[in-house]
């Protein structure tokens, strides 16, 4: 181990192993996670060693190979798809595997299909006799589902639906696993019966032959071309021309087209939200928090190995993490990684509670859950995307090399801001919920406990008198609460004003949209800070860990006030002098957390293989590894034809013969 | 432009579908052709070469960049006449292809830390070059990996047992004729990067590699045959080159952001989504306030940076005559200002490009949008030619120095002259900025004053905090480090002020009334948006009051609506050719969806209808399970 990194580990103020266990939810889970990761990483089939050198075609092939082999492996190890090991498998594979949409295909059949449909399709899918995808997004429409243009017309005579892509913007575009792999897909289309439109419904459509994998009649499908990341995934397009499917292929748990064309609906339509909510919550941990933790691990380890310039004349060059500016870039991101790990726990709990209630046909918590999952999905993905980018840029030139692992983390997490609901639109959905609750609360109607604070919004002053007061969670949580309440109430007032002055409701909403989105973000930020503080509070038994977590919580909270000063200063809740105290306290925390920075990332417990980074490995042999890996690059192994063909004549000044 | 765009020799398959090796090969092919055609057409003016090159390569890097942009100019400025005779013509004729090897694996912006050594051996009159550690391996130079046969290497010079600091040496690295690395030289490509696929950024390791004494660039410093070292006259001269290159980056920030804005704004006019009013057709997404709020401030920023880039270039040209006559008095300020503006504009553009991509939703993520490419090509400029944080701190050093001068009774000039006012106001016990301005939010000139007040107050706060730290601590460096977050903020505020000021000043130069009107709106938007994003700075010391902030926010929203009808025209004015833009979403004709489909059909995964993976993996699995 590089001595610069080793020395960082000797001064940890807490036990890394206990923190890891606590993050995992118990030592037993840590043990299981390590066993799973070990089993996967020791299997050469799952190696990601050459990932950075592969073409799109090679990446896709590798992903399919791994997915196929994984079935065998899971069988061998006795793991199941709904077992506790599954999420660790995903972590070990770093998502670099095919058939993820196949799982969504199965989930949507299980949730939206009747018992009969489940009995028919699920066994086929789980045996991989068919491979599924999920075709919702179109070329012309994404988050706004009602705008989808694919049609499914019911033909009573044949008892079939006729599916069509009426124009180019209606083409299905983006679904994973669909470009090359899938044999079937769930297509979302506007249902027409006897010329009347009944809105969006899901249909199972076969798109490729089960014999030779060629496209079925009426189907045009393929890969949508290179993207910023997800080279391994065959995101696809799909065009349907008079494709006929039997009546039974419409997923009909909640509604049905009867043989005579009669349309029957039962159950709550709200349940449709529930699928989206599930996905949004689950992506926070797998696709967002894990990458940000990895990026912090890489950047922080590299920052104690890299030495640059001198802090004091005559001394050795300083570790770049000893520079205040570097600390100010990285440590708030580290704090955020922890904050969002905890908010994920919070959302899981909320979700589980709602799930239990739904089992008893009680849908009361759904709106709150929906609003929260939307807002947090938007806030967390946006925050973490920028956090990963900060980590990337904090590694200077070497961060730009694919071998650092950071560009791949960044391009992947970036996509999370868009898929499963575009962030701005999601924030506005949360805002709608908040405004509604605010209105209700101000007229004395009951609102969910998480938003009761909206009613209490009133002018006030922050009571802090010196910089140490800002290390009191009550002080800063109160400040966040005040800011969120103020932003929600002033957006509501503005909306009200516009409507009263005769502006139409929809126009008024659009004219306030920027404010509304800001209010929703402030709400989520407040809940994150509050939840972090409460989590730390509950940690009383583990002193060493509690202390460092308290510092991180303070840092997260004060960083937010420091970088959004205007929101807190606006109505004088925090005064100019108090803002100076916030800044002082915030900057004071940096060197304190600096001491534990490496142990704090070690606690995330990523193996070198899963980081796949020349800069971030546990032993800190950064430069040797960069040099070794670069030599493996195909550009150094294969002779490029460029020399013989172009360079040689150029060098020999025979340009005219080219 | 038309010359290149219509030349069939420069056509090729969409780069997005090519592997790195193929992209490198295409770039080399085009560069070779380009050199030939430049000679054929007799183009020699640097400006014309620049445009020709940027059309051939569509604004993308290419392996000969370093040869043309660094190797040849360095020979011109730092080689003796004898050395020019030996190297310049062969290099001009491309018998020699060179690169500029400065950065090492272990050191970048902090040049003094470089570890490569050149030890003079008087017995043979040679320099012995060595890469003594892994960290000293030259790393990143463009064109080094596969293309060049020579490199200008920066190394610590040792002669007569003493280290004389960094000097430049011409080092042959590959055999002429066979292109094989010379004995003692290890050279290769550093592997895949985020972008720059066509560039063979390379590594270079030297083991006791000997070059003749005459290969040290000796126009300024010299080593005599017996090993005696002769010092150069001035070291400030190198500032000039840095200022020049950083001014190019400011221009590049403007251009890259302008390209991204063009794509995002045109696409937002083509894409329809959701409903604003029930029952009406889906509106263009550019009609949503949130979309305007994402894009229009960036559009204003692209214009602002354009003017800033032009300003630095002009100033540099103006004072470079003075410089060549030995008058260096204006150089320190310009140097300090350029460092900060390089950092400020590249950070802002970097984030802005991402914002544009985000604003294009899912399709922005596809390579066909062209924005991923703009981003990965642009983002390294936050690091190269001076890491941005380090640049900001250089500007801060100048600001603090100026502040100290003012405090000791001296006057300062130029962009920092606002600091002069501080001492006059010090009689008042209050914060300096508190009562200086009554801001009129519709008047750009008044907003310049507000930004000035903010800069003054942040420079003062940083300088005071630095002083407080100095009183507590022995070490100057330690105090500086503990104030550096404040110092960076001060530099940012200073740069922001300079930009608003330059943009505002530009308005009066515009004679066309309609153009001036629309640019005034953009300038207001730029200034007001900057305030609304940094309200804390303005509120904290009372430059603006709560009610004014509310007005600012309101005015920003109004300006969005005012700019909306001109948005497409404003990006059309950037006048990017479709080929140059390289974007399906940003096409001038707006035929987005048809062309997306056409583009996708060419994807390598679509080469065969049934992918080979089906036969290799899927089919066996299905038959086994």
Domain with CATH 1.20.140.10 in chain B: 239-390
C-alpha distance from residue A23 to each of A30, A344, A536 (Å): 9, 12, 13
Between residues 260 and 279 of chain B, which touch chain A (CB distance below 8 Å)? 271-278
Mutate to test the interface with A, among B613, B614, B624 (most CBs of A within 10 A): B613
Cβ contact A417:B359 at 8 Å: no
Q: Given an 8 Å threshold on Cβ–Cβ distance, is A308 in contact with B475?
A: no
C-alpha distance from residue A360 to each of A255, A430, B396 (Å): 20, 26, 64
**Which residues on B lie below 8 Å from A655 (Cβ)?**
32, 35-36, 39, 94
Residue A554 three-state SS: helix
Range with the lowest mean pLDDT among A69-83, A412-426, A552-566, B224-238? B224-238
Cβ contact A256:A348 at 8 Å: no
Half-sphere exposure of B335 (CA within 13 A, CB side): 17
d(CA B80, CA A522) in angstroms, rounded, equals: 63
Q: What is the mean pLDDT of residues A489-496?
A: 95
For Cα atoms A656, A658, B1, give the angle at the middle one, nearest 5 degrees: 85
Express as a percent the part of chain B with pLDDT over 70: 95
Q: What 8-state DSSP symbol labels residue B583?
A: -
pLDDT over 60 (residue B429): no
Tokens of A435: 């405004």
Q: What pLDDT does B262 receive?
A: 98
Residue B117 three-state SS: strand
H helix runs in B426-544, sequence order? 444-472, 476-482, 484-507, 513-533, 535-540
A413 close to B (CB below 8 A): no
> Is B186 labeled as ligand-binding?
no
Tens-place pLDDT, residues B2-46 = 677 777 777 777 888 888 888 888 888 888 888 878 778 877 776
Q: What is the mean pLDDT of residues A485-511?
A: 95
Tokens of A276: 């989206």
Tokens of B581: 């833009």
Cβ contact A46:A97 at 8 Å: no
Residue of A nearest to B617 (CA): A65
pLDDT category of residue A366 using cuts at 50, 70 and 90: confident
Residue B110 three-state SS: coil
Half-sphere exposure of B390 (CA within 13 A, CB side): 17
Cβ contact B505:B523 at 8 Å: no
**Phi, psi angle pair for B288, to nearest 5°:** -80, 135
**Phi, psi angle pair for A194, to nearest 5°:** 50, 40
pLDDT over 80 (residue A189): yes
**Which residues on A lie below 8 Å from B189 (Cβ)?**
630, 633, 635-636
Maximum CA extent, chain B? 91
Nearest beta carbon to residue B192 from set A308, A423, A633: A633
Give the gap in angstroms from C-alpha A184 to the nearest C-alpha of chain B.
14
pLDDT category of residue B427 using cuts at 50, 70 and 90: very low
Tens-place pLDDT, residues B342-390 = 999 999 999 999 999 999 998 999 999 999 999 999 999 998 888 999 9
Following CA atoms B330, B331, B336, B337 in sequence, which dihedral angle do they give, to the nearest 10 degrees? 60
For Cα atoms A227, A228, A231, give the angle at the middle one, nearest 5 degrees: 60
Nearest beta carbon to residue B273 from set A64, A141, A510: A141
Nearest beta carbon to residue B113 from set A129, A212, A308: A308
Rg (CA), chain B: 27
Residues contacting B13, CB < 8 A, separation 6+: B602
Tens-place pLDDT, residues B93-124 = 888 999 999 999 999 888 889 999 999 999 99
Residue that is written with structure tokens 């009613």 in the block: A455
A71 close to B (CB below 8 A): yes
**Which residues on A lie below 8 Å from B284 (Cβ)?**
none
d(CA B130, CA B183) in angstroms, rounded, equals: 13
Residue B166 three-state SS: strand
- State the CATH architecture for B239-390: Up-down Bundle (1.20)
Residues contacting B57, CB < 8 A, separation 6+: B27, B30, B31, B34
Q: What pLDDT does A374 receive?
A: 95
Tens-place pLDDT, residues A112-125 = 899 999 999 999 99
Domain with CATH 2.40.110.10 in chain B: 96-232
CB pairs under 8 A between A and B: 365
Residues contacting B24, CB < 8 A, separation 6+: A635, A640, A642, B63, B146, B197, B198, B199, B200
pLDDT category of residue A638 using cuts at 50, 70 and 90: low
The class of domain B96-232 in CATH terms is mainly beta
Catalytic residue, chosen from B126, B385, B449, B460, is B385
The separation between CA A349 and the C-alpha centre of its own chain, rounded to angstroms, equals 18
d(CA A301, CA A621) in angstroms, rounded, equals: 10
A409 close to B (CB below 8 A): no
Tens-place pLDDT, residues B485-513 = 999 999 999 999 999 999 999 999 999 99
Beta bridge partners of residue A319, listed in sequence order: A307
Residues contacting B163, CB < 8 A, separation 6+: B156, B157
Tens-place pLDDT, residues B569-593 = 999 999 999 988 999 999 999 999 9
Q: What end-to-end distance do the CA atoms of chain A give, in Å?
A: 53
Cβ contact A295:A391 at 8 Å: yes
Domain ranges in chain A? Answer: 23-98, 129-266, 463-595
Q: What is the mean pLDDT of residues B397-414?
A: 93
Residue that is written with structure tokens 């690395």 in the block: B181
User: Which one, of A436, A393, A391, A366, lies nearest residue B384 by Cα?
Assistant: A393
Q: What is the mean pLDDT of residues A268-279?
A: 74
Tokens of A355: 């799930």
Tell me the pLDDT of chain A averaged across its residues.
92
pLDDT over 90 (residue A494): yes
| Enzyme catalytic residues of A | 420
Q: What pLDDT does A80 receive?
A: 87
Residue A186 three-state SS: strand
Q: What is the mean pLDDT of residues A581-590?
A: 97
Q: What pLDDT does B572 receive?
A: 97
- Fold for A463-595, please state it: Butyryl-CoA Dehydrogenase, subunit A; domain 3 (1.20.140)
Beta bridge partners of residue B362, listed in sequence order: none
Q: What pLDDT does B501 receive?
A: 97
Whole-prediction pTM: 0.92
What ipTM, to 2 d.p.?
0.90
Residues contacting A224, CB < 8 A, separation 6+: A173, A174, A179, A235, A236, A237, B366, B600, B603
Tokens of B500: 């608003």
pLDDT category of residue B428 using cuts at 50, 70 and 90: very low
d(CA B548, CA B543) in angstroms, rounded, equals: 10
Q: What secondary structure does DSSP assign to A93-155, as a single string?
A: HTT--S-HHHHHHHHHHHHHS-HHHHHHHHHHHHTTSS-EEEE--BSS-SS-GGG---EEEEE
d(CA A426, CA A584) in angstroms, rounded, equals: 35
pLDDT over 80 (residue B622): no
Residue of B nearest to A422 (CA): B361
Cβ contact B250:B378 at 8 Å: no
Cβ count near B431 (within 10 Å) = 18
> Which of the following CATH numbers is that of domain B1-60: 3.40.50.620, 1.10.1060.10, 3.30.70.270, 1.10.540.10?
1.10.540.10
CATH number of A23-98: 1.10.540.10
Secondary element (H or E) of residue B419 = helix B418-425
User: Which one, of A588, A637, A160, A658, lies nearest residue B37 by Cα?
Assistant: A658
Tell me which CATH homologous superfamily contains domain A129-266: Butyryl-CoA Dehydrogenase, subunit A, domain 2 (2.40.110.10)
Beta bridge partners of residue A189, listed in sequence order: A201
As to burial, measured by CB atoms within 10 angstroms (0-12 exposed, 13-18 middle, 19+ buried), residue A472 is: middle
Q: Given an 8 Å threshold on Cβ–Cβ distance, is B203 in contact with A419?
A: no
B121 close to A (CB below 8 A): no
Residue that is written with structure tokens 């534990």 in the block: A596
User: Which one, of B356, B625, B118, B39, lies nearest residue A653 by Cα?
Assistant: B39
Q: Given an 8 Å threshold on Cβ–Cβ distance, is B145 in contact with A127?
A: no
């Amino acid at each position: 181990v590089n001595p610069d990194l080793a020395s960082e580990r000797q001064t940890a103020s807490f036990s890394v192993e206990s923190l890891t266990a606590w993050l995992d939810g118990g030592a037993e889970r840590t043990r299981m996670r390590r066993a799973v990761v070990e089993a996967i990483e020791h299997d050469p089939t799952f190696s990601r060693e050459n990932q950075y050198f592969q073409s799109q075609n090679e990446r896709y092939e590798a992903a399919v190979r791994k997915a196929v082999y994984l079935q065998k492996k899971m069988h061998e190890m006795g793991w199941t798809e709904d077992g506790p090991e599954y999420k660790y498998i995903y972590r070990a594979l770093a998502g670099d595997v095919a058939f993820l949409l196949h799982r969504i295909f199965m989930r949507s059949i299980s949730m939206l299909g009747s018992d009969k449909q489940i009995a028919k399709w699920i066994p086929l899918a789980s045996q991989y006799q068919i491979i599924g995808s999920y075709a919702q997004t179109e070329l012309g429409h994404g988050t706004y589902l009602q705008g989808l243009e694919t049609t499914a017309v019911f033909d009573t005579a044949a008892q079939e639906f006729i599916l069509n892509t009426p124009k180019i913007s209606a083409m299905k575009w983006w679904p994973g696993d669909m470009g090359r792999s899938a044999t079937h897909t769930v297509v979302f289309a506007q249902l027409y019966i006897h010329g009347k439109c009944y809105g969006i419904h899901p249909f199972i459509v076969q798109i490729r032959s089960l014999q030779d994998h060629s496209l079925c009649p009426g189907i045009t499908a393929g890969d949508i071309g290179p993207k910023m990341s997800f080279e391994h995934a065959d995101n696809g397009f799909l065009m349907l021309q008079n494709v006929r499917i039997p009546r039974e292929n419409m997923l009909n748990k909640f509604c049905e087209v009867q043989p005579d064309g009669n349309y029957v609906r039962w159950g709550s339509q709200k349940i449709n939200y529930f699928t989206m909510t599930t996905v949004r919550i689950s992506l926070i941990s797998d696709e967002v928090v894990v990458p940000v933790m990895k990026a912090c691990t890489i950047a922080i380890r590299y920052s104690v190995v890299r030495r640059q310039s001198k802090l004091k004349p005559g001394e050795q060059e300083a570790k770049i993490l000893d520079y205040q500016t570097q600390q100010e870039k990285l440590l708030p991101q580290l704090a955020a990684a922890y904050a969002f790990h905890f908010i994920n726990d919070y959302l899981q709990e909320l979700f589980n509670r709602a799930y239990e209630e739904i089992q008893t046909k009680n849908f009361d918590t759904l709106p709150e859950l929906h609003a929260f999952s939307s807002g947090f999905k938007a806030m967390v993905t946006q925050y973490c995307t920028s956090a990963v980018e900060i980590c990337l840029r904090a590694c200077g030139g070497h961060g730009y090399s694919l071998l650092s692992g950071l560009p791949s983390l960044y391009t992947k997490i970036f996509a999370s801001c868009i898929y499963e609901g575009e962030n701005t639109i999601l924030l506005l959905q949360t805002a709608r919920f908040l405004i509604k609750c605010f209105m209700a609360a101000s007229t004395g109607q009951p609102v969910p406990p998480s938003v009761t604070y909206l009613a209490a919004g009133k002018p006030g002053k922050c009571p802090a008198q010196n910089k140490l007061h800002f290390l009191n969670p009550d002080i800063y949580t109160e400040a966040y609460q005040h800011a969120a309440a103020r932003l929600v109430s002033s957006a509501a007032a503005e909306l009200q004003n516009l409507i009263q002055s005769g502006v139409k409701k929809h126009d008024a909403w659009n004219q306030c949209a920027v404010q509304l989105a800001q209010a929703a973000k402030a709400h989520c930020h407040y809940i994150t800070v509050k939840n972090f503080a409460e989590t730390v509070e509950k940690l009383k038994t583990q002193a060493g860990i509690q202390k460092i977590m308290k510092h991180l919580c303070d840092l997260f909270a004060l960083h937010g006030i420091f970088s959004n000063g205007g929101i807190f200063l606006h109505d004088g809740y925090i005064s100019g002098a108090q803002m100076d105290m916030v800044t002082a306290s915030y900057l004071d925390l940096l060197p304190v957390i600096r001491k534990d920075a490496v142990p704090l990332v070690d606690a995330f417990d990523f193996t070198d293989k899963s980081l796949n980074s020349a800069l971030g490995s546990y032993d800190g042999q950064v430069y040797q590894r960069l040099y070794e890996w670069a030599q493996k690059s195909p550009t150094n192994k294969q002779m490029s034809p460029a020399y013989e063909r172009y360079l040689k004549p150029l060098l020999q000044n025979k340009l005219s013969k080219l | 432009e038309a010359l290149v765009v219509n030349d069939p020799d420069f056509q090729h398959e969409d780069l997005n579908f090519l592997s790195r090796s193929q992209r490198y090969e295409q770039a080399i092919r085009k560069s070779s052709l380009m050199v030939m055609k430049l000679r054929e057409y007799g183009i020699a003016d640097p400006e014309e070469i620049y445009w020709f090159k940027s059309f051939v390569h569509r604004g993308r890097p290419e392996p000969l960049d370093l040869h043309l942009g660094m190797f040849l100019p360095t020979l011109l400025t730092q080689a003796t006449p004898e050395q020019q005779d030996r190297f310049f013509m062969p290099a001009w004729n491309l018998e020699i292809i060179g690169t500029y090897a400065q950065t090492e694996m272990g050191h970048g912006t902090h040049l003094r830390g470089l570890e490569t050594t050149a030890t003079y051996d008087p017995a043979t009159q040679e320099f012995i070059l060595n890469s003594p550690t892994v960290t000293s391996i030259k790393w990143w130079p463009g064109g080094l990996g596969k293309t060049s046969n020579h490199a200008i290497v920066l190394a610590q010079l040792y002669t007569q047992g003493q280290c004389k600091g960094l000097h430049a040496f011409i080092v042959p690295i590959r055999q002429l004729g066979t292109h094989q690395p010379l004995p003692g030289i290890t050279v290769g490509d550093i592997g895949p990067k985020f972008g720059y696929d066509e560039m063979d950024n390379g590594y270079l390791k030297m083991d006791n590699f000997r070059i003749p004494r005459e290969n040290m660039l000796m126009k300024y410093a010299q080593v005599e045959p017996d090993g005696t070292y002769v010092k150069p006259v001035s070291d400030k001269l190198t500032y000039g080159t840095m200022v020049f290159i950083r001014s190019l980056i400011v221009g590049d920030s403007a251009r890259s952001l302008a390209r991204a804005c063009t794509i995002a704004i045109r696409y937002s006019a083509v894409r329809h989504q959701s409903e604003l009013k029930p029952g009406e057709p889906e509106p263009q997404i550019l009609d949503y306030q949130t979309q305007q709020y994402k894009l229009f401030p960036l559009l204003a920023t692209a214009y602002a940076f354009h003017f800033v880039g032009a300003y630095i270039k002009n100033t540099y040209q103006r004072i470079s005559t003075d410089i060549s006559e030995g008058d260096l008095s204006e150089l320190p300020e310009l140097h300090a200002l350029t460092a900060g503006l390089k950092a400020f504009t590249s950070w802002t553009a970097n984030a802005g490009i991402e914002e544009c991509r985000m604003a294009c939703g899912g399709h922005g993520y596809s390579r066909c949008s062209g924005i991923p490419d703009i981003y990965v090509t642009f983002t390294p400029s936050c690091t190269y030619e001076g890491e941005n944080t380090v640049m900001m701190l250089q500007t801060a050093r100048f600001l603090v120095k100026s502040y100290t001068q003012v405090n000791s009774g001296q006057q300062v000039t130029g962009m920092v002259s606002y600091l002069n006012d501080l001492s006059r106001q010090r009689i008042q016990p209050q914060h300096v900025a508190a009562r200086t301005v009554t801001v009129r939010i519709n008047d750009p000139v008044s907003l310049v004053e507000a930004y000035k007040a903010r800069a003054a107050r942040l420079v003062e706060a940083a300088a005071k905090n630095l002083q407080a730290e100095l009183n507590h601590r022995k070490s100057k460096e330690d105090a500086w480090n503990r104030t550096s977050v404040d110092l960076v903020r001060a530099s940012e505020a200073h740069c922001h002020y300079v930009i608003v000021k330059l943009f505002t000043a530009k308005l009066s130069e515009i004679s066309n009334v309609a153009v001036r009107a629309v640019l005034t709106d953009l300038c207001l938007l730029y200034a007001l948006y900057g305030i609304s994003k940094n309200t804390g700075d303005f509120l904290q010391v009372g430059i603006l009051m709560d009610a004014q902030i509310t007005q600012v926010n309101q005015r920003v929203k109004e300006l969005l609506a005012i700019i909306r009808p001109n948005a497409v025209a404003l990006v059309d004015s950037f006048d990017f050719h479709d080929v140059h833009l390289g974007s399906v979403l940003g096409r001038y004709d707006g035929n987005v969806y048809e062309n997306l489909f056409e583009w996708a059909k060419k994807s390598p995964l679509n080469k065969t209808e049934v992918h080979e993976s089906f036969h290799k993996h899927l089919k066996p699995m299905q038959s086994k399970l």
